[in-house]
Structure 1
C-alpha cells in the first residue's frame, strides 16, 4: 500500500518541530537568537550509529524514559561551547544544562502526543562511545535517529543534537497514535538493507572505474521536509552529476564528489595525463553515470524491471545549491521526501556522496524493492507510515 504524502510529511516534520523547539528553548535560556539548520529523521543500521555520536571534544548524553525511552547525544563544537559558556557565565558547567534544555524542548513535541509524561534524566558526559552504542536501542539491526544541527545567529559554531529513541517502545508509541499504522522493526530493517545494498553498489562501481577501493562506507535512509533538503550537504564545493530516471521507478539521483584537492577525481579517472577542463568534466560525468546506473540497476533487478536513466547533468557548485534544485522540483507536489543517502570515502582526497530521491508516487515500488532485497515476502510500508508521530 502506498503511503500518502501527508503521512510522509508527518514522519519528518515531527522531528523538524522538535529541532525547532529545541533551538527556541536554547534561545530562551541564553537570550542569543538560535535556529535549526538541519533536521532529519534517519533510519540507520546499528553499525552506522557511531557516525551520529559526533567527534567534538565536549559531548553530553541525556537519557529519558516514561512514555518513550531513549537518549539524546549533544555534541558541541568549540566555538559554540565557548559562546554558550560566556553568555551564561557558568564556564563549561553550562553545557550539561544546555543539553538538558535542548532534550526537554525536543521531547516535549512527542509528549504532546503521548498519554503519559516523558521524564528527562540527569545529563552525563560521553566518555565511552562503545558504552553509548551498546545502550542505544537497535531492533532487527535498525535504529531511528532524529538529528538536528542548532546554530547561533552570529555563526559561532554548531551544536549537533541527535535523539535516539528505543526502537520497540517508539514503534508501539506510533501505532498507539493511529489506528492505521502497522509497523514492525522487521519492516524497518528492510529499508536499512536497501540503503546498504545501494551504498555497496556505489563503492563497487567507483572501485571498478578508479581502481581505488573504498576505505569507508556509510548509508542511511533520511526523511526530510522538502525545504530542509539542501541542508543535507554543507556549503563546500562539490562536482558531479545529477540524473533523473523513469520507467520502473521515477527518481532523482545526485552523485557528487567532495575533493580536498581540485581535480582529484579526474586524476583517478585519467591517470598520468594532462587533461583539459572539458575532458575532466566528461570523466566526472561518466563516473557519475556509471555509479548512478549501478544503484538503479540493483533496484531494477530486484523487481525484474527496467529503469531508464537520463543524460548526466554536470554540476560544480556548493552542495546546498545543488540540492536546492531538487527541493524546488519536489516542493511543487510534496511536503517531505525520503532520501537514500550513501557516503563512500575513496581516499583522503575524494569522498563520494550519493543522494537518491524516489518519487513519493512510487512508494509501492520502493517497498517492493526493499522486500525483495531482504527476501521477505511481506512488502513493508514506504515510507513507514506516520513514523514521526502524526500530523498536527
Structure 2
C-alpha cells in the first residue's frame, strides 16, 4: 500500500526552530532567540537542568531541630531526625545538617531528662515552683486552702468560706488546715444546718488524724470549718475545709501537725494505741444513768474496749530502752482502769453504775503517762503548750 500524500494546498509541517532573523519593525534589539530549555523567562526562578525543580528542605529535618531546641519534646525530635535522614537521601533534599543537629540536641535533652528523674531533681524543682507560687499568692479563698497550710483570718470568724491570708506556720497564726472533704449526695444547696451536721463529725475525725499528739494542742484551739455559702455553691464550690483555729487566745506559733509525716514509728504506735481511749470517753451519752441506763452501760463497754486495746498495744511492742519502763508502767495502770470500767459496764441499775462511775473516771488519768510520752519524744505535759 502506498503512503497517503498530504493535499498539495496544505503547507508542509514545520521542522525545528525558525531561523534567527531580524524582528520586523523599527525596533530591532538583535537576533531573535526563542525560549528553549534552560532559558530564564524573566519572572520567577529559573528551571534547573533539563527542567528539574530546585532542591527542597526536608520538613521533618526542620521539625527535628525545633523539637530538639524545645526541651519538653526531645523524644519527638529524635524520632523526626531519624526519619528525615533516609528521606533526604531518597528524595535528594537538603536539611541533613538540620536533622543531625536535631538528633544531637534531642539526645542530650533525653539524657538530661533521665538523669533528672533518677536523681529526683525534677521533683525538687517542681516543689520549689509550687512553693514560689504559694509565696507569691498570699491571699486565697478558704476552700482553696491545702492541708498543712497556716493562715490568719481576714476579719471575724464565720462558718462560710471567706478570704484568709496564708502565712508560714513558723510565725504566729490563727488557723491551720487539718484537711478537707467534698459534700456529695446533694442535687441543690442543702443549707447550713445540713452541712453543719456533716461537718462537725467529719472535721473532728480529720483533726484527730492530723494531730495525734493531742497534748500539744493548746486549750484555746478548737476544731473549726469553712463551708460553702449558697452563692459559692452555685459557682461549683462543694468543699468543706477543716481547721484548728485559736478562739479567744493568743496566736499559735509552729505547726500542730503530728501524724505519719512528722512522727516516727514508735510515736505513732503509742498514740494510735492510747488515743482511742479519749475518743471513747468523749462519746458519753447526754442522758445520765438515771434516765437511760442502757446507753450509759453501753458507753462504759466502749471505753473498756478502748482501754484493753491500748494495754495490749503497749505490751506487745518492743520499745526503746529508755521508754520500756515508763510505757510498761502505763500499760499496768490502763489494765487496772479497764477492770473498773468493766464493772461499770455490768451495772444492773443506776445505783450500781454511780458507785463505780467516779472511780472509773479517775483511773483514766495515769501517773506514768508524762514519763512515757517524754521518753518517746512526745509532748510530756498537757495544757496551753505552743502558744506565743
TM range (shorter): under 0.3
Which one has the largest radius of gyration? 2
TM-score, normalisation: structure 1: 0.25
Higher fraction of strand:
1
